[in-house]
Amino acid sequence: MITTEPGNAQSSHSVSEENHRFVIFMLQVRGFPAAGIIMVAAPLLLLLLVPFAPSSGAQLPTQGQAKELPIATNGQIFPWDRMRLPKTISPLHYDLTIHPNLTTLNFTGVVRIQLDVLEDTSTIILHAKQMQISGALLLAPDGVKPLQVLEYPRFHQLSLLSDSVLTKGRKYEVQLVFAANLSDSFHGFYKSSYRTSTGEVRVLASTQFEATFARGAFPCFDEPAFKANFTVRIIREPRHIAVSNMPKVKTVELPGGLLEDHFDTTVKMSTYLLAYIVSDFQSVSKTTQHGVKITVYAVREKIDQTAFALDAAVKLLDFYDDYFDIPYPLPKQDLAAIPDFQSGAMENWGLTTYRETGLLFDPEKSSVSDKQGIAKVIAHELAHQWFGNLVTMEWWNDLWLNEGFAKFMEFISLDITYPELHVDDFFLGKCFEAMEVDSLSSSHPVSTPVENPTQIQEMFDDVSYDKGACILNMLRDFLTPEAFEIGIIRYLKRYSYQNTVNSHLWDSLTNVSDVCKWYSGDELDVKAIMDTWTLQEGFPLVTVEVRGREVWLSQERFLKTDDPSLIDGFLWQIPLTYMTSASNTIHRFLLKTKRDVLYLPEEVDWVKFNVDMSGYYMVHYAGEGWNSIIRLLQHNHTALTSNDRASLIHDIFQLVSIGKVRLDTALELSLYLSRETEVMAVTQGFGELVPLYKLMEKRDMAALENQMKGYIVDLFRELIDRQKWTDSGSVSERVLRSYLLLFACVRNYAPCVTKATQLFNKWKDSDGNMSLPVDITMAVFVIGARTPEGWDFLFEKYRHSLQMSVKSRMKHIQVIEKEMLILSSSICRMMEQSLHGEVMKTQDLPDVVVSVSKNPRGYKLAWDFLRTHWHTLIKKFDLGSHSVSYMVTGVTNQYSTREMMDEVRNFFSSLTEETGSEMRCIQQTYETIEDNIRWMDTNLPLLQAWLNKHSHRAVHEDL
């Protein structure tokens, strides 16, 4: 089989003997008479003889343009020179037959595409990537004609050249026969495998087409606006099953003992949502109240871990059916746990696919965090069945219309369907994560132009997902939940089965804004407000200064840079909320200008803006503002909600990094945390304090580093001491317990180390059969992994465990522990094994590499591994992907010296555009290291002086 690569001089439309036999075989099983087969198949062999004919409608550079002419693989000029497909032809229907061979790991197929011609043309431009096209036919009203095929691998494009004009307004069909290898990455139609408990390796084939990978599975118009219907047939061996987006309607026996499954025709949808799997999975099913069959698929030995996912999917699909007031349009919804899966999950319409850790739950072994995480992933993918599948962004620049909404709906849906999971306690963290990226000059607008596949992949980041969700939450709070719900239902109904842009959403919400009773200004222009949040990057810092009864307001861009010119020119319309010491009422004000003044009815002791942090902005309290907040927290912190307290901790420490607040002021505020008990505020306290000593771990600063670690342990000592080593309490209490005990053990807090050592020894003596409380296993494992014998025992248990959540915890522990004498050889071996999928799945490698980088003794190992294996990693995980970005930023984001900066810059500057030099994550890395260097240069003396003044006694006596 010939796979066409860039630079390959041989045209892949030459017909191989194998594929010619496949064509005739396929025509036989379709019932073509022998004479008809000869008439249809013979032109395939003649394709080599068809001369090149210039195409009408060809788009080539005009005279005077310096643009390089696109050259096809056979040396001819390719008649299209743009990354995006022309609008001359639109697909209406795909009839797709696929035959994967799970022994030889390749596949063959035939696709017939019904076309609607929108402009006269003799050229059909569509996508195909790294596949052999062995025949192309035009099925026109006046007969079957061969088409010449040209390939342009740089843009993954095919040109089908007709010797007659395709007339505007008429319908045609093209038929293409193709073959390719199953991908060994995680994209397109790819190979996955798993090992049974007896050691047997089983192989399956699954798809992942988002964003631009359908073209690697079959020739198609692989852009989201080219929606069409799909009828799929899959040829398989009897030992396997096949599933696709729609229910199976029949199975036909073929010569040679093969079976062909015929699936019902899909609704109109984009190519990236098509899916099919050939495997030996088992399944369990239930039916929703609305009559939709829900089925969960997994490997046989893990099917008993699917009960929670099945129940959650039933409950959530019913919720969305009612909430959106639009019935789910398909008769079934499948959820499949794929053993090899790069992202978390994928929303293929009617066949959502997941990492095993995103779907499988063992009530005895999985933690409450696992349960919450699985529920959120399922809620996210099922929300996509409306946001993304039913209504789809027109192009990837507006990916946030899919992902921001799905992320937002995770919290809306689970707050109602699973209130006991307390997901609302954790939404704030998503906004903080988005701000971390959005505070860099290398950030991008929520809606931003993208062109090539790498740029498209880079859109799947915290800005599209988390910032998208946070600005939707801000708009919902601004308009009221009732008005917001009316507007999004209108949006979904108006644009069902269509493609949309930003303005369509704002138009749908504008007419409902009169429900917003608090706003008394001019007519509310939702588009004008939200354009400031979606069309420019970054977010505002609102500075508040109270002067008697006057509150002076100003806004500027929050940006971690030493270049003030990058801050100018930004203006947001900001839905401000605030409360004061004089009233619990939430007051609202729309700040449209750089500066404004509010008037209070009376003077107050304190004012808190961005109530519950419902808005996507930071607040700086100028003058005496921060001092009044600190006094409030020290004497009556519960006067503010836990979200308010978390946002204050976040904002003040972030303001230190841009020089608006002194570090010692932020540390004074942190003293109140010795009384804090709520999960979001506690974890945000850790989130701001721990990175300070993490910066020192990469330098020779043991004394100050240990002083800082000691301060944090002392700060939370009483809260740690109150934790029970059980699984009792609410979800938030249990999440907090896991966090606190793990931190205490890593930091060698003696009572925790003693307890964890006792439990690990008992567990090890039982050969791992003793049931440990799930919430405390991370703390126990981290202590056990400190000895070579304990580490080896954990590694063996990891290798043989079938509980995905247990494997996940063990994976992190094996690289987190600081004191391991065997760190270097064992961790290098683990990363190498992950790279090749041995013992540890390659999908887990990014987590492993980043975890190693956080280890004070391992960070150089992670950086060396990333450099050494760079070309393998970008091939496996794909340029621009979240996995690559996560490794680049995760490995380097705690570097804080000029020497480290030079080393990082030297490596990345040695890359070419083809190997990733233009990726946004590299610029983010440079900015983050520069910010760390500035922080250390400015604040180390202040930190040293402050810590010297605050002994263990001071932490408690000051309060």
Surface-to-core class of residue 247, CB atoms within 10 Å of its CB (0-12 exposed, 13-18 middle, 19+ buried): middle
56-68: per-residue pLDDT in tens?
A: 344 544 444 446 8
d(CA 436, CA 889): 12
pTM here is: 0.89
Is 485 annotated in a binding site? The answer is no
Bigger pLDDT: 173 vs 46: 173
Spatial distance between the Cα atoms of 720 and 862, rounded to a whole number of angstroms: 31
Residue 771's Cβ-count burial label (10 Å; 0-12, 13-18, 19+) is: exposed
Question: Looking at the predicted structure, is the pLDDT value of residue 513 above 70?
Answer: no
How is residue 73 annotated by DSSP? T
Name the β-bridge partners of 208.
188
| Residue-wise pLDDT tens digits, 693-726 | 988 888 878 899 999 999 999 999 999 999 999 9
Residue 934 pLDDT more than 60?
A: yes
Lowest mean pLDDT among 6-10, 124-128, 159-163, 245-249: 6-10
User: 825 pLDDT band (50/70/90 cuts)?
Assistant: low
Among 440, 428, 416, smallest CA distance to 466 is for 428
Catalytic residue among 260, 356, 381, 817: 381
- 380 annotated binding-site participant: yes
Query: Does residue 955 surpass a pLDDT of 80?
Result: no
Please confirm, yes or no, whether 789 is among the known catalytic residues.
no
Report pLDDT digits (tens) over 682-701: 999 999 999 999 888 888 78
pLDDT of residue 523 exceeding 90, the answer is no
445 DSSP 8-state letter: -
Q: Which band of pLDDT confidence, cut at 50, 70 and 90, is reported for residue 891?
A: very high
Q: How far is CA 247 from CA 23, 260, 261, 295, 722, in A?
A: 26, 14, 10, 11, 53
Q: Is the pLDDT of residue 285 over 50?
A: yes
Q: Residues 420-466: pLDDT tens digits?
A: 999 998 999 999 999 999 999 999 999 999 999 999 999 999 999 99
25 φ, ψ (degrees, to nearest 5): -60, -45
Average pLDDT over residues 229-240: 97
pLDDT computed for residue 813 by the predictor? 59
Please give the average per-residue pLDDT across 193-216, as a whole number. Answer: 94
Tell me: the pLDDT tens digits for 554-579?
Answer: 999 999 987 777 777 899 999 999 99
What would the two tokens of residue 706 be?
A: 């240990």
- State residue 286's pLDDT score: 98
User: In the predicted model, is pLDDT for residue 743 greater than 50?
Assistant: yes
pLDDT tens digit sequence for 314-349: 999 999 999 999 999 999 999 999 999 988 999 999
Q: For residue 46, what pLDDT is reported?
A: 29
What is residue 821's predicted lDDT score, i.e. its pLDDT? 42
Q: How confident is the model at residue 471 (pLDDT cuts 50, 70, 90)?
A: very high
In this prediction, what percent of the chain has a pLDDT beyond 90?
74
Instruction: Using the CB atoms, write b or e for 326-355: b if 16+ within 10 Å.
Output: bebbbebbbbbbbbbbbbbbbbbbbbbbbb
Is 403 labeled as ligand-binding?
Answer: yes
Q: C-alpha distances in angstroms, 114 versus 155, 167, 172, 178, 209? A: 23, 14, 6, 17, 21
What would you measure as the largest C-alpha separation in the chain, in angstroms?
A: 97
Question: Has residue 518 got a pLDDT over 80?
Answer: no
Instruction: Please state the rounded mean pLDDT for residues 604-626.
Output: 96
State the pLDDT at residue 408: 96
Given this model, what pLDDT does residue 702 score? Answer: 87
- Mean per-residue pLDDT for 483-502? 95
Q: What is the pLDDT of residue 26?
A: 43
Cβ(360)–Cβ(301) below 8 Å: no
Q: Which residues of 864-886 are buried (b: 16+ CB within 10 A; e: fewer)?
A: ebbeebbeebbebbbbbbbbbbb
User: Residue 854: which pLDDT band, with cuts at 50, 70 and 90?
Assistant: confident
Assess whether pLDDT exceeds 80 at residue 820. no
Q: At what angle do helices 731-746 and 702-721 cross, to 10 degrees?
A: 140
Gap between the terminal Cα atoms of the chain: 75
Q: Where residue 590 falls among pLDDT bands split at 50, 70, 90?
A: very high
Is the per-residue pLDDT at 28 higher than 80? Answer: no
pLDDT, tens digit, 9 for 90 and up, residues 646-695 = 999 999 999 999 999 999 999 999 999 999 999 999 999 999 999 999 88
Q: What confidence score (pLDDT) does residue 787 get?
A: 86
Give which of 743, 809, 811, 816 is closest to 778, Cα–Cα: 809
Q: What is the pLDDT of residue 517?
A: 57
Residue 374 has pLDDT above 80, yes or no: yes
CB 49 within 8 A of CB 169: no
DSSP string, 520-536: -SS---HHHHHHHHHSS
Task: Name the band, by pLDDT with cuts 50, 70 and 90, for residue 852.
Answer: confident
Locate the domains of the chain by residue range. Answer: 69-280, 723-814
| pLDDT (0 to 100) of residue 34 | 35
Report whether CATH 3.40.50.300 matches the domain 69-280: no
